[in-house]
Amino acid sequence: MTDAFDKCRLPQEIEALRASGVYPYYLPVEERLQYGEVVMDGRRVLMAGSNDYLALSNDPRVKAAGADALRRLGAGNSGSRVLNGTLTLHHTLEGELADFLGHEAAMVVSTGYQANLALAPLFGPRDLLLADRHIHASLIEAARLGQAKLRRYRHNDTAHLGRLLETAEPGGGRLILTEGMFSVTGDLCDLPGIADLADRHGARVIVDSAHDVGLLGPRGSGAAEHHGRQSAVDVQTVTFSKCFGTLGGAVAAPRQVIDYLRHSARAALFSASLPAACAAAALTALHIIRTEPERRRRVLASAGRLRTGLSALGFDVPAHGMPTVPLQIGDGLLCCRFWTELFQEGILANAMLPPSVPEGRALIRLSVTAAHTDAHVDRLLEAVAAVAGRLGLPARTPGGPAARRSRRTDA
C-alpha cells in the first residue's frame, strides 16, 4: 500500500527554478500605492502584471463604497444565495449588469472562476462543446463537470471550428466556448466568424468576458459590443477582479437560463455569497465604467506606447492593441531569469510557464493600466531593454545596436 501523499511532489521544473534562485511565484505585496506602484520587500516596484486595467481597485469612490457596505452589512453573509445570503445589493448589481451587457438577467457569484463553473448544468449528456484551445482553466473544469462531449478547435481558427461543426453527429445541442479577450496573449476572439458559424449550425455561443468587459466597445461592455455582435452571444460570464477592481463574478444570459442556473448550478448553490463590500465596490465600479470612457482610452493609449516601444526593441509583439502584451521567451528557465532581472530593475511582471502556455512557449506577460503614465511605460521599456541586452534576447537598447538573437527563444 502506498501513501496517498506520495504524489505531493513538485515538478522538476519548479525545483530547478528554486535551486537557480529564479522562482517567480507567491511573492507578497506589502502595500498598494497610487499610480501603478506597489511595495514589496520594503521597496517601491512598478506593477506591470496586474489585471486592474482601469485602475479602479484603488479608486477612492470604489473603496468608499466597499467600506460603507462593510460597516452596514458586515464582513460576510454567512450563507448561500439560495438560503439566507442574498442581499439587496446583489439584486441591484444583477439588474444593472444585465442591462449593461445587453442580457435579460444576471446571476452574481463569489468569483469569476465560480461563474464559469456555474455553467456546467448547461452541458448535457447529448450536447457537444466546441472550445477554443486557449480558453481559461475554469471553463475546462466546467466542461469536465458537465456531461457533454468536449472537442477543442485550434486557437481562433474558425475554419477548424467550422469543420468540427460540419462533422458533428446529429442530435443534441451544440455550444461554442471562447474568451472575448484571451488572458495570456491579449488577442480577441473572432466573434464575427464564430457568430456566423453558430447561426449556420444552430449552436449557442458562450463568451468568457473576464478581460474585455469594461475595456472594449463604445460603452465598455466588452468584445461583443466591440465587434457589433452582442445579439450573437447567448451567455456571457464576467469577473469583477479585472476592470471592476474587486472580487466576484457573474453569468448573464436569457432569464430562463439564469433561473435554471440559480436552481441547478452547484458552484452557486453550495457556496457562501459575495460579501457586501465586494458587491458595493463592483456596483460603483460599474457606474464609473459607464460614465468615464477616458479610462479606457488612457489604458489603450498606454498599451499602444508599450507595443510600439517593444517593437522598436526588436520584440515580435502582437498588433492587437490590448493592454496585455506577451514577450515570447521560449525556454522556461530563461523566462524566469528574465522575470528575476526585471524584478531587480523594479518591475513586477508575470512569468507564464506550461501549462498556462504550450510547451516551449514560456513568456513574460506585461500589462498596463489606466494608472500608468508615459513615464511609467518608458521606465518599463528601459528595464526590458536592459534585461534583454544582458540575456542576449532580440532587443535593442535605446539608440544602440541590435542585440544578437538568442537561439533559446522563439520570440
Name the H helices within 43-190: 60-73, 88-101, 112-117, 137-145, 158-166
Which of 242, 271, 367, 376 is the catalytic position? 242
The single residue listed with the C-alpha cell 472537442 is 151
- Give the three cell numbers for residue 319: 498588433
E strand or H helix at 220: none
- Cell of residue 46, nine digits: 512598478
Catalytic residue among 50, 183, 273, 367: 183
3-state secondary structure of 347: strand
Q: State the virtual CA torsion across 197, 198, 202, 206 in degrees, nearest 10.
A: 160
CA distances to 16, 114, 322, 384 from 411, rounded to whole Å, are: 23, 34, 19, 14
376 is known as an active-site residue: no
**Exposure of 341 in the CB half-sphere (CA atoms within 13 A):** 17
Name the residue with cell 449588469.
97
Nearest to 153 by CA among 134, 127, 180, 173: 134
Based on the residue annotation, tell me whether 63 is a catalytic residue of this protein.
no
Q: Catalytic residue, from 211, 226, 372, 376: name it.
A: 211
Sheet holding 350-352, edge to edge: 324-330, 362-367, 350-352
Half-sphere exposure of 409 (CA within 13 A, CB side): 23
> Does 211 participate in catalysis according to the annotation?
yes
Residues in a beta bridge with 37 = 46
CA distance 258 to 236: 11
**Count of C-beta atoms within a 10 Å radius of residue 355:** 7
> Cell for 48?
506591470
- Residues with catalytic function: 183, 211, 242
